[in-house]
Structures are given as C-alpha cells and as structure tokens.
Amino acid sequence: MLRRIAKELKEHAPFTALGALTGIAIMAIIVFGNISSEISYAVFYTLHPGHVLLSALVTTAMYVRYKKCKFWVAVLIGWTGSIGIATISDVIIPFLGGTLLRVPMEFEVPFIEEWWINLLALAGIAIGYWKQTTRIPHFGHVLLSTWASLFYFTAFGIADWIPLLPFIFLFLFLAVWIPCCTSDIVYPLLFVGKD
C-alpha cells in the first residue's frame, strides 16, 4: 500500500505543480487588479463547494468501484473523505501557511458556517455511488482545490502578497498534493481491504 501511495504522489506532483502555478498567476492578477477581499470571499465560496462536490464524487466512486457496499457506508466514506479532507486542503493548510508567514488570517470552517455545502457532498456521493467515474472529476477536483486554497488566502488574509508568492506556491502545492491524492485515492482504498 505504501508503494502505491508513493507512486500516486509521484505521478500527481507535476500536475499539482502546474495547478499551483496557475494559482500564482491568479494571485498576481488579484494583486495587480486590486481585487477586493469580498470578491475573493465570493469566489472561495463558489470554488470550495465545487471542490467538495467533486471530491465526494471521486472518493465515493473509487471506493464503490473496488468494494460493493450499502449506500450508508458510501455516504460515510464519501462525506468524511470530501468534507474532512477538503477542509484540510482549502482552509487549514492556507490558514497555517498564512499564520507561518505572519499574515493576519481569519479562520472559517465552511461546512459548519454554510450548511448547504454538506448537501453538495451528498450529491457528489450519490453520483459517485451510481456512476463510478473518476478521471475527469479528479482533474477538476485538483484544480478547484488549488484555486479554493488560493482564494482562502486572499479572502481571509491581508498582506503584500507579491513578495510571498514563492511561499504561497509551496503552500498551494502542499494543500493539494497530499490531501487531494489522499481523499481521491488513498482514503477510499484503505477501506477496501486486501482484495
């Protein structure tokens, strides 16, 4: 299992780096375009729910593809794999990154503050349960996660971002690379068993 995880992380690293570069380009546009934090907030609350939906779909589809199960088991795996890990990716890592960079950051937990995000997780679970498609949703999941993490920085933090861009790249990469590969691949397969 550890060899499989290492292989998946290695294969996803270049795409994750490319996604992080798109995030840096978007952040430069935000800074030079003098985009307000209110717009970043609105964009975050568009991208994060989309990330949760795709994450729930892929996590559930991956689990159900390898282990036939009752719907309530798929709900449990899909919900914890999407809500929990998307929160780590889109909120906790950017918050900790901003804090480490000494950027004043607000902390917000979207699935608690905006209850309807849980409904999107359930919709993703239902889709993944009945149609086990993973490739395109995983691709979308990774990009949405990158951009949601980026917009968490600009929605909930105030800083001179341009000198921090190399560090933001690092945090965007980490916020997507480990959590998203974990939720889409590792997490559901942990419950499949040896078969």
Inside any domain, residue 27: yes
Q: How many percent of the chain have pLDDT more than 70? A: 93
SS3 call for 105 = strand
pLDDT in tens, 172-190: 999 888 887 776 677 777 7
Inside any domain, residue 195: no
What is the total count of domains within the chain? Answer: 1
Q: How far apart are CA 131 and CA 135, in angstroms?
A: 12
Give the domain range for residue 117: 2-190
Q: How far apart are CA 86 and CA 176, in angstroms?
A: 9
Inside any domain, residue 21: yes
Looking at the predicted structure, is the pLDDT value of residue 131 above 60? yes
pLDDT in tens, 26-69: 999 999 999 999 999 999 999 999 999 988 998 898 888 888 88
Q: Which of 96-105, 133-142, 152-161, 173-182 has the lowest mean pLDDT?
A: 133-142
Inside any domain, residue 179: yes
Looking at the predicted structure, is the pLDDT value of residue 99 above 90? yes
Burial 37-46 (b: 16+ CB within 10 A, else e): beebbebbbe
Q: What is the pTM of this model?
A: 0.88
